[in-house]
Chain A
Amino acid sequence: MKNELLTTAMKNSISDVLETMFFLSLDYSDNVAIHELWSTGKGQILASKLNFEGPFSGNTVFYIPKKIALSITADFLGKDENDVFDDQINGTVKELINMLTGNTFSIYDPDAVFDLEVPEMVKFDDSLKDLSDSEKTISIVIETMENHLAFQMNFRIDD
């Protein structure tokens, strides 16, 4: 039951965040493994990770093609894409996972308190290695007009 509620909360959070603030038109894909998403190559994939502690503990990971992150960041900053620095792009990607995760927990249980750590950037391949060791994972794959994003939650099964 927790998995179903969390999956719904994650999807609602994605819609809230990406459609309200980032104006991305979205759809969801089922039964697609994250490691297969970009296997045909659609440019560099950025990944941010956020650890959390609360009624249950674990981490979330957000995957986004750099091209999309660059476009969003340039729009936010009101700059040409050529004038955007990598640390600014990373700032957007870290903010995205912060919003997605916080919003997920607010939707999942408004009375529960989760402590969120400061988000960090991780290498795409390393994050996939982490996943194979995780005990419980919920993955949401998001389709945009021309690419994919993914939001994943990993948590300890004994929680």
Chain B
Amino acid sequence: MAYNILIVDDSTPMRAVIKKVVKASRFDVGQFFEAANGIEALKILNQEWLDLVLTDYNMPDMDGLKLVEEMKKDEELKSIPVVMITTEGSRERVEEFMEKGVMDYIKKPFTPEQIKQKLMQIIGETEDEERTPDNGDEEFDF
């Protein structure tokens, strides 16, 4: 199954890096969508079918945590898994993320292996299942 992923980060280069790393991780992606903050993300979420949201925390206009709060208020959006990609690593902050409904978090800086491991955990698949011969891994250039 290919997953549609929304990447939310105010840094264009960082969105490009995340996209590149997700591709390199061989995670099965259908389509990427991008937003520069929580407000833009909500617009896209209300227009497109998304399977997963990868969001930065520290952004202007609407940060990642506020985005999660808004998604949790919406019946259509509240079940979409959200992963926070953040420099914030304190235990208290991570607990706050989880309490607000963030499914998991990835600490910056990250490697492709870390990204893939987290995404696999979230989708509930194993690496072995992902790498079966029929799943189209060859499409990914890494």
Contact with B along A105-117 (1 / 0, CB 8 A): 1100111111011
Which 9 pairs from chain A and chain B are nearest by CB? A102-B87, A106-B89, A21-B109, A91-B11, A76-B13, A20-B109, A95-B11, A92-B13, A99-B108
With contacts A78-B20, A95-B14, A99-B109 known, is A110 near B88, CB below 8 A?
no
Q: How far is the CA of A102 from the CA of B91 in the complex (A)?
A: 13
Interface 0/1 of A58-75, CB less than 8 Å to B: 000000000000001100
Contact count band on A: 20 to 34
B110 to chain A, nearest CB (A): 7
Contact A105 B109 (CB under 8 A): no
Docked-complex contact A103 and B108, CB < 8 angstroms: yes
CB of A21 to closest CB in B, whole Å? 4
B90-119 interface with A by 8 A CB criterion: 90-93, 107-111
Contact A94 B109, beta carbon cutoff 8 Å: no
Complex Cα distance, B89 from A110, in Å, reads 7
The 0/1 profile, CB within 8 Å of A marked 1, for residues 20-47 of chain B is 1000000000000000000000000000
B110 pairs with A92, CB closer than 8 A: no
Contact of A88 with B12 in the complex, beta carbons under 8 Å:
yes
The reply to whether A113 and B92 contact each other, CB–CB distance below 8 Å, is yes
Taken residue by residue from 1 to 45, chain A's Cβ proximity to chain B (1 for < 8 Å, 0 otherwise) reads as: 000000000000000110011000000000000000000000000
Question: Which among A21, A72, A88, A110 is the interface contact of B90 at CB below 8 angstroms?
Answer: A110
- Interface presence of B59 (CB below 8 A): yes
Which residues in A have their C-beta under 8 angstroms from that of B123?
A: none
Cβ A76 vs Cβ B90 within 8 A: no
B60 within 8 A of A: yes
User: Is there a chain A Cβ closer than 8 Å to B4's Cβ?
Assistant: no
Say how far A142's CB is from chain B's closest CB, in angstroms: 15
> Which residues of B are found within 8 Å of A103, using beta-carbon distances?
87, 89, 107-109
- Is A113 touching B13 in the complex (CB atoms < 8 A)? no
Q: Is the CB of B11 within 8 A of A102?
A: no
Does residue A77 face the partner (Cβ distance < 8 Å to B)? yes
- Report the nearest B residue to A114, measured CB to CB: B90
Between-chain CB contacts (< 8 Å), 21 pairs: A17-B109, A21-B17, A87-B12, A91-B10, A91-B14, A92-B13, A94-B11, A95-B14, A98-B58, A99-B108, A99-B109, A101-B87, A102-B86, A102-B87, A105-B89, A106-B87, A106-B88, A106-B89, A111-B90, A112-B90, A118-B60
